[in-house]
Structure 1
Amino acid sequence: MKNFFAILGGMGTLATESFVHVLNERTPNHSDQDYLNYVLINHATVPDRTAFILGKSEKSPVAALKEDIRQYSTLEPRFFVLTCNTAHHFYDELVETTTTPLLHMPRLAVQAVLKKFADLERPIRVGVLATEGTIQSKVYENELNSYTNIETIIPNQEIQQQVTHLIYRDIKERNFLNQELYFSILDQMIREQQCDVVLLGCTELSLMQESTKNAAYSVIDAQSELVDETIRLALEYRQADS
């Protein structure tokens, strides 16, 4: 197979499944041949990223991810897609493993925030919802704070606990898409924390957004932005080779 990309997934598997579903759904198509060429790496046994970042586990995910990148770089994909937000904490280490481009989901999401609020004449209040590992490692906070016209809002302890429960207890452990809790969290961030927009920095939250088709609350979904950039690049390469 030529002119394809590689998806580094499995963190978790349901979130990866959601990414692939949205990717295929948004790809312009009139026949089987219009869909994109890609290799899906569902490496479900990659050690937990959040547990390692928080010091709750000594098992680093870096070795497993580097192994995937080295192994599939030999197939010469056009680019890699990393579907786990928390894993972007290790982005600089991972890109040293290959000369193949690796898309950066948090940067794409922040660019979407800036575009959405380009006409706002005051700082954009951006609430970040993510795993505790992503929050503590400041994967999104650092990207957001590099812009003077953005004010980053990190959830308080009570809201963060609710986010953690939604991601781990409900989705990862029980495969339960708890819509009531999801909308409650969004409501607290928008109304109580007075955020202009909530940035979804976890693929399980992207799964919630996709399943609910939420339009009531202002949201930027990092996975959605990654899907759009993946399609744009893949079609660009295809056209260049045609």
Structure 2
Amino acid sequence: MKNFFAILGGMGTLATESFVHVLNERTPNHSDQDYLNYVLINHATVPDRTAFILGKSEESPVAALKEDIRQYSALEPRFFVLTCNTAHHFYDELVNETTIPLLHMPRLAVQAILKKFSNLNRPIRVGVLATEGTIQSKVYENELNAFENIETIIPQQEIQQQVTNLIYRDIKEQNFLNEELYFSILNQMIDEQQCDVVLLGCTELSLMQEATQDETHPIVDAQSELVDETIRLALEFRADS
């Protein structure tokens, strides 16, 4: 197979399934051959990223992710897509394992915010919803704070606990898409914390957004931005071949 990319997924599997579904749904197509060529690596046994970052587990996910990159680099994909937001904490370590480009989901999301809210004549108040591991490791905060016209809003502890419950208790453990809790969290970030936009920095939250098709809240979904960039690059490589 030529002109394909590799998806580093399985963190978690339902979120990866959501990414692939949205990817296929958005790909312009009129026949089987119009869809994109890709290899899906659903590495479900990668140790939990948040547990390791927070010191709750000694099992690092890095070795497993590096192994995936080395193994699939041998197939010479055009680029890698990493579908787990929290895993981007290890991005610099992972890119050193290959000469093949690895897309950076948080940076794509931040660029989308800058573009969509460029007309504001004051700093953009961006609320970050993510796992505790992503929040503690400042995966998104560091990217956002690089811009003077962005004010990063980290959820208060009570809201963060609700986000954690939604991601782990409801989705990962129960396969339950808790729409009531999801909308409550969004409303708190917008109404109470006065956010201009809420950045969905966890693929389980992207799964919630896909399921609800919510258009009533100002949202930038990191996974959605990654999907769009993946399609753009894949079609560009196809056209050049």
TM-score by length of 1: 0.99
Match of 1:199, SS state, is strand
Give me the whole-angstrom Cα distance separating, in 1, the residues matched to 2:136 and 2:60: 16
Give CA-to-partner distance per residue, 1:131-150, whole Å, 9 cap, x none: 00000000000000000000
1:169 matched residue in structure 2: 169
Q: CA deviation at 1:151?
A: 0.2
Match of 1:22, SS state, is helix
Give me the whole-angstrom Cα distance separating, in 1, the residues matched to 2:218 and 2:175: 25
2:201 matched residue in structure 1: 201
Give me the whole-angstrom Cα distance separating, in 1, the residues matched to 2:90 and 2:112: 22
Give me the whole-angstrom Cα distance separating, in 2, the residues matched to 1:189 and 1:216: 13
Give CA-to-partner distance per residue, 1:174-232, whole Å, 9 cap, x none: 00000000000000000000000000000000000000000111000000000000000
The number of residue pairs the alignment matches comes to 241
Give me the whole-angstrom Cα distance separating, in 2, the residues matched to 1:129 and 1:3: 34
Q: CA deviation at 1:85?
A: 0.0
Q: CA deviation at 1:237?
A: 0.1
1:99 matched residue in structure 2: 99
> 1:48 and 2:51 equivalent?
no
Q: Name segments (4+ residues, structure 1) moved above 4 Å.
A: none
Q: CA RMSD in A?
A: 0.2
> 1:13 and 2:13 equivalent?
yes
Give me the whole-angstrom Cα distance separating, in 1, the residues matched to 2:85 and 2:33: 30
Unaligned runs of 5+ in 1: none
Match of 2:220, SS state, is strand
> 1:152 and 2:143 equivalent?
no
Amino acid at match of 2:58: E
Match of 1:19, SS state, is helix
Q: CA deviation at 1:31?
A: 0.1
Unaligned runs of 5+ in 2: none
TM-score by length of 2: 1.00
Give me the whole-angstrom Cα distance separating, in 2, the residues matched to 1:176 and 1:214: 17
Q: How does 1:119-130 map to 2 (within 5 A)?
A: 119-130=119-130
2:234 matched residue in structure 1: 234
1:74 matched residue in structure 2: 74
Match of 2:235, SS state, is helix
Give me the whole-angstrom Cα distance separating, in 2, the residues matched to 1:3 and 1:25: 19
Give me the whole-angstrom Cα distance separating, in 2, the residues matched to 1:236 and 1:120: 32
Give CA-to-partner distance per residue, 1:114-173, whole Å, 9 cap, x none: 001111100000000000000000000000000000000000000000000000000000
